[in-house]
Amino acid sequence: MSTRLAKGGRLTDRSKQIGFTFNGKRFTGFAGDTLASALLANDQMLLGRSFKYHRPRGVVASGAEEPNALVGLGQGARFEPDQRATTTELFDGLVADSQNHWPSLEFDVGEVNAKLARFLPAGFYYKTFLWPRAFWKHLYEPVIRRSAGLGKAPHPEVRDIDRYEHFHAHVDLLIVGGGVAGLQAAKAAGAAGAQVLLIEQGAHWGGRAPVDGGTIDGMAAADWVARTVAELETMENVRLRLRCMGAGVYDHGYVLGYERVTDHKPGAHGPRHRLWRIRCKQIVAATGAIERPLSFAGNDVPGVMLASALRDYVVNYGVSAGDRTVVVTNNDDAYRTAIVLKKAGLAVPVILDARPLGGGALMEEARALGIRVEPGRGIAKVLGGKRVTGVATCLQAGEGSVLEEIPCDAVAMSGGWSPVVHLWSHCGGKLAWDAENAVFRPDPTRAPTGADGAPFLGTAGAASGAFHLSDTLADAEKAAVAAAEALGHAATAAPPQAEAASEAALLPVWLMPQGARAELRMKAFLDYQNDVKVSDVQLAAREGYESVEHTKRYTTLGMATDQGKLSNINGLAVLSDALGTPVPQVGTTTFRPPYTPISFGAIAGEARGEIFQPLRRTPMQDLHESNHAAWEPVGQWRRPYCYPHPGEAKRDAVNREINATRQSLGILDASTLGKILVKGPDAGRFLDMMYTNMMSTLPVGKCRYGLMCNENGFLMDDGVVVRLSEDSWLCHTTSGGADHVHAHMEDWLQCEWWDWKVFTANLTEQYAQIAVVGPNARNLLETLGGMDVSKEALPFMTWAEGALAGTPARVYRISFSGELSYEIAVPANRGRAFWGKLLEAGRAWDITPYGTEALHVMRAEKGFIMIGDESDGTVIPQDLGLSWAISKKKADFLGKRAQERTDMARDDRWQLVGLETLDGSVLPDGAYAIAPGRNANGQRNTQGRVTSTYYSPTLKKGIAMGLVRHGPDRMGEVLGFTAEEQDHTDDKPTLVEARIVSPVFYDPEGEKQNV
């Protein structure tokens, strides 16, 4: 059984007990434990079930590479699935649950899948569930979805109660990884004068060195680490950050760091995670290496662990995985585990060394401790189901005939080490195959390069493939010097003296034994999390999968949350063997960020709840709020849709607002309309290019409705243009279009007509703008007093400046409703007060604030188009009966040439008409007018569509606008439009009949607005 040893535990504090629960059972650990070490200390070896076969699985690793020990962590508003027990720091009250089991962890029904394993080979989804087709949706998919998968998603109604944030940091040099290589690199680059940020994903500095031993500058590794950290802390130009992972490297030296600020003390003040958005000039990835498993039958039984992890648990946490541990290896490093175990008083029955001649100095040391070493041997299979009970040994060179059965509680395996090349690869760094160490390591001649073509990222230490301590520090020094020099600092390499036992060469072992029979290969797991075995990859190769990327997707190798950290190299080596293609030619799959999964909360940062996105507010917004407005989003604005009275339906409120406005007086908050000032000697010429109609000839004091097209000829925006003075115009835009139109203008001015003398300024927010509409509009303004707003002084489509009721104001005599109407712009800071004055003075006429829906209906009653309704990016002004607003005189304007193209000029484009249902009902929005026959795809032909449709309280019936082929020539014709409800099996569509009429439903002569 796994247990806590009597002493030991470099990182734990035995004076501080910590209580936690796993699957409802109460356990105790120590401060400094990880959840994995605390569970092992309590003999909880079985931690979950595998994805596909529901095989029992336990801890394999001790760090970020862990594929098995995933738990659901926390409860309720702090529940999170798929958390790695190996990187979860233990805290008081921690609650964890195992995943992917039913009904219980110990007894799992899905385990029957394992019995059926021979029927569930690679790609079985693709092969098995093809027929009958209907079964997929209703039977196969639901069952597969229930039995597969890892953790469960948090409850949809529960909200994460923690907060998250971003942090933007700019540094010269970012060093990722706080092992001895990262520390040495920081020290060297810091000493050279670089601004350094050193981040480490774990809670401790020093990485593996304190466990693996060796001396640096005559000191034990742990002492050197402590001294170096203390030294770095005194350097002003070096910053250190624990619990902060380098998640991804992107173009231009942009790096994402993932800091777990309070994961180890939930509920503490402050954000839970902080996403570091780091812009740096140089990066050193000192990301270390990950040990590889060996592929032998039963290598997934709980108790089979990476050799390095076993010694981590003993040295760091004082926890043993079992009394008797068999070590199986193809290299010298695993002997360190045997030596550590033996020195801790534990039994190592045998070291199985796949190399025919065994290892070097470390083997001699192990033998001297009395450990039996068997060179040339391997594991035929692991004995035991829910945990290891022993191993059957065999010759590595053979097919798996059992030589001996050796009882044991744990197996420490090592297939060598792979450099963590993820960050190197994220931004295009290439790898080279190092046959001697059987690893892909960064190829320094093909580094990730920046905009200047020079490398911006280097690796240091084990991440470069410099595994031996003496090489590690020298390599780190070299990387730091290169980075410092690239930053313009003078630096010379002076690495510390490091010593560690010499190591004999490793023997690549991709399958154990090398000639393993089929039944062994079917139990030799490559990818633990996705249950991919050696036999699956071999099958894929036999079926013709040659590309490693295709094999990955077909077998799901490396596609789980661990992204193949343990399985990648083993899997592609098996593929290479099966294809008879050398490993470097097979290559690796693509390394993509993040290095390990990061929380959605960290990505969202502060953007949640009320600050999920900016909500723009007009100066009168809080008055609308207190007036119980119902809201409509318009861009990032929230505009009042209508103002329902208590108990009043929105529909009724809209009708009331329209009737009140048409009969007496309404006011609208139009502050959101874009207002762009265009000024300069070339402003008229510029606006003639921007708008389809002529703006340069507009007299001072007048207003003109204008259309703006993009260079493809499509209608982009509309609005009233006002001539303010000889050299300045004010362009009104749609509410949603203001920023875009301003950017569009600046784009043309800065990139194309940079020599034109024109300046623009976006004044949208300078003014509160209020439309005063209705037969009593003039009466109201005259009551306020201060300006002559009579028909004679201020005729339709003119403007005047002055003061109304003591408020400085610009009054535009324009109308979008067909009524007598003024739009009044006042300084935004006075908008709130001015709105109040209007309401006060307007009481005599029962003044009624109206919202966007009333605005839309009144526009539609007049046949005025709406950008976004009648236009959708494919509509040109000519489609909308707006040819009158397209200048024939101008030599050019944006869109002119495009509108001459064949498709734009053809005479059967759908064109704007009014539509009236025969029964007075409201046509469905977006409904199509059916035409006889069917197209090549068997779909019904169409001849038009509804673009906006409303109930008109003025006319007391449904009115609509639409685009219809040859529409204006077909007045009076009745078309069939698709009804809201359709019977999908019926060949005969349900239609609503509507007659083509003029789009101007109300006051076609314009008598009302022109009084």
User: Judged by CB under 8 A, does residue 832 bind other proteins?
Assistant: yes
- Rounded least distance, CB 491 to other proteins, Å: 20
- For other proteins, the binding residue among 386, 830, 945, 957 (CB under 8 A) is 830
- For other proteins, the binding residue among 482, 516, 828, 927 (CB under 8 A) is 828
User: Judged by CB under 8 A, does residue 277 bind other proteins?
Assistant: yes
Chain residues 647-686 in contact with other proteins, contact rule CB under 8 A: 677, 679-681
Q: Which is nearer to other proteins, 609 or 932 (CB)?
A: 609
User: Judged by CB under 8 A, does residue 179 bind other proteins?
Assistant: no
- For other proteins, the binding residue among 616, 628, 650, 957 (CB under 8 A) is 616
Q: Which is nearer to other proteins, 616 or 702 (CB)?
A: 616
Q: Which is nearer to other proteins, 827 or 976 (CB)?
A: 827
**Phi then psi dihedrals of residue 392, to 5 deg:** -100, 125
Site pattern 706..745 for other proteins (x: CB under 8 A): ----------------------------------------
Q: Which is nearer to other proteins, 156 or 614 (CB)?
A: 614
Choose the stretch contacting other proteins; rule: CB under 8 A; options: 274-282, 774-782, 812-820, 862-870: 274-282
- For other proteins, the binding residue among 505, 611, 793, 971 (CB under 8 A) is 611
Choose the stretch contacting other proteins; rule: CB under 8 A; options: 210-218, 358-366, 427-435, 601-609: 601-609
> SS in 3 state form for 689-752?
HHECCCCCCCCCCEEEEEEEECCCCCEEEEEEEEEEECCEEEEEECCCCHHHHHHHHHHHHHHC
User: Judged by CB under 8 A, does residue 979 bind other proteins?
Assistant: no
Block residue for tokens 């290891």: 388
User: Judged by CB under 8 A, does residue 615 bind other proteins?
Assistant: yes
User: Judged by CB under 8 A, does residue 606 bind other proteins?
Assistant: yes
CA 796 to chain centre: 52
Specify whether the CB–CB gap between 360 and 504 falls below 8 A: yes
Strand ordering across the sheet containing 390-395: 377-383, 390-395, 404-407
User: Judged by CB under 8 A, does residue 263 bind other proteins?
Assistant: no
- Rounded least distance, CB 102 to other proteins, Å: 40
Q: Which is nearer to other proteins, 257 or 881 (CB)?
A: 257
From the list 544, 568, 574, 542, the residue with the least C-alpha distance to 556 is 568
All residues at 6 or more sequence positions from 906 whose CB lies less than 8 Å from its CB, including other chains? none
Beta-bridge partner residues of 173: 196, 282
- Rounded least distance, CB 608 to other proteins, Å: 10
- Rounded least distance, CB 173 to other proteins, Å: 14
User: Judged by CB under 8 A, does residue 901 bind other proteins?
Assistant: no
- For other proteins, the binding residue among 807, 917, 943, 1009 (CB under 8 A) is 807
Q: Which tokens go with 225?
A: 């680490």
Q: Provide Rg for the chain, Cα atoms.
A: 37
Specify whether the CB–CB gap between 292 and 569 falls below 8 A: yes
User: Judged by CB under 8 A, does residue 759 bind other proteins?
Assistant: yes
Choose the stretch contacting other proteins; rule: CB under 8 A; options: 284-292, 647-655, 698-706, 764-772: 764-772
Block residue for tokens 């003639």: 688
User: Judged by CB under 8 A, does residue 599 bind other proteins?
Assistant: no
On the question of a cis peptide bond just before residue 293, with omega within 30 degrees of 0, the verdict is no
> Which amino acid belongs to residue 186?
A
- For other proteins, the binding residue among 417, 637, 1001, 1002 (CB under 8 A) is 637
Q: Which tokens go with 540?
A: 């894929």
972/905 Cα distance (integer angstroms): 25
Specify whether the CB–CB gap between 620 and 671 falls below 8 A: yes
Q: Which is nearer to other proteins, 513 or 737 (CB)?
A: 737
User: Judged by CB under 8 A, does residue 270 bind other proteins?
Assistant: yes
- Rounded least distance, CB 64 to other proteins, Å: 24
> SS in 3 state form for 479-525?
HHHHHHHHCCCCCCCCCCCEECCCCCCCCCCCCCCCCCCHHHHCCEE
Angle at 773 between CA 768 and CA 776, to 5 degrees: 125
Q: Is 983 exposed, middle or buried (0-12, 13-18, 19+ CB in 10 A)?
A: exposed
Q: Which is nearer to other proteins, 175 or 858 (CB)?
A: 175
From the list 952, 394, 983, the residue with the least C-alpha distance to 662 is 952
> SS in 3 state form for 314-377?
HHHHCEECCCEEEEEECCCCHHHHHHHHHHCCCECCCEEECCCCCCCHHHHHHHHCCCCEEECE
Site pattern 466..495 for other proteins (x: CB under 8 A): ------------------------------
Q: Which tokens go with 363?
A: 């083997």
Site residues (vs other proteins, CB under 8 A): 163, 165-170, 239, 268-271, 274, 277, 279, 605-607, 610-611, 613-619, 637, 677, 679-681, 757, 759, 761, 763-767, 806-807, 827-830, 832-834
